[in-house]
Amino acid sequence: MSWSSPGGPGRLAGDGAVVARAPAKVNVHLAVGPLRADGFHELRTVYLAVSLFDTVTVRPGDGLALTLTGEGAAGAGADAVPTDRRNLVWRAAELLAERAGVPADATIAVDKSIPAAAGLAGGSADAAAALVALDALWGTHATRGELAALAAQLGSDVPFSLQGGVALGSGRGEQLSPVLARRRWDWVLGIAGEGLSTPAVYAELDRLRAAGRLPDGSDLDSPEPVIAALRSGPVPALAAALANDLQAPAVSLRPALRRALRAATDAGAQASLVSGSGPTVAALAEDEEDAVRLAAVLAGEGVYRTVRAVYGPVPGARLVG
């Protein structure tokens, strides 16, 4: 990896702050293969970046310091997100500093709108936004390709959080190829009160497969129907093509999800599916107006903690301001 020599700070606001934001994702197709020797599952997934963003603000500092506001902040219960080395943002900062040969000096503030452990890749979004913001703060001038390589080391979903839009992911999900979406897709996200651990959902999938209660995954479903539907619509074509192999294990661990999925279709959603490893329910709407209506109906039902109308595709991690 070749790094240009540090060229001084990038785009700075008045107090030396650099701000970046990155989106949540929904997997509109998620096929999970058998467990690999390295402990990961082979994935074939189609990611869609949606308009729910975390914001990362970085300032000059002495060593690393991290604060968190919004979803998952201290006091938010069992899903409280760590603010030390265990936070993906901290690891992103250390990795970028090490690779670029600069001191890891920054005060980092993460404002989370993406709930933690929700299947929306919130931690990955934070890591991607941190890479972009710190690259500007430290003047390390990494290329997009260099940032993508660091992202892949941080986690399977981080490269997509950096890239955004729509993409086909293979390997652990980190190998991306772009997918064309000619139109905007409107969704309502039904967010649960308590998160689900991604490793626990994969372990439940393995358990259900070993017990013969689910197909073994050796035949990965093709993403082609979803890719064709995304390209040209209409909405019912995408509704019919949505698929997620993690939905059955997520429902097995969290039976209330069955009702949460049904509530969305009963309220008129074109389709509903679990987002990633859950427990967020992604309900596909006809258009923006329908999404606003659906969100209002679902908010009134009390099945979810929070309901958000979103759309995609949206860009990946970007500097703002």
Compute how many residues bind ligand ATP; rule: CB under 6 A. Answer: 21
Is 120 annotated among the ligand-binding residues? yes
Show contacts with ligand ATP in window 87-116 (CB under 6 A).
87-89, 116
Closer to ligand ATP by CB, 36 or 233: give it. 36
Closer to ligand ATP by CB, 124 or 272: give it. 124
Quick note: the x/- pattern for ligand ATP over 15-54, rule CB under 6 A, is ----------------------------------------
> How many whole angstroms separate alpha carbon 46 and alpha carbon 167?
6
* Catalytic annotation, pick one of 54, 111, 126, 157: 157
Residue of the chain from 119, 159, 165, 316 that contacts ligand ATP (CB under 6 A) = 119
157 catalytic per annotation: yes
> How many whole angstroms separate alpha carbon 185 and alpha carbon 25?
13
Residue 117 binds to ligand ATP (criterion: CB under 6 A): yes
**Minimum distance of ligand ATP from residue 246's CB (angstroms):** 9
Residue showing the smallest CB distance to ligand ATP in the complex? 123
Residue of the chain from 72, 169, 190, 313 that contacts ligand ATP (CB under 6 A) = 72
> How many whole angstroms separate alpha carbon 85 and alpha carbon 64?
10
Closer to ligand ATP by CB, 61 or 82: give it. 82
Give the residues across from 248 on adjacent strands. none
25 catalytic per annotation: yes
Where does this chain bind ligand ATP (CB under 6 A)? Answer: 72, 81-82, 86-89, 116-124, 126, 157, 198, 276-277
Binding-site residues: 115-125
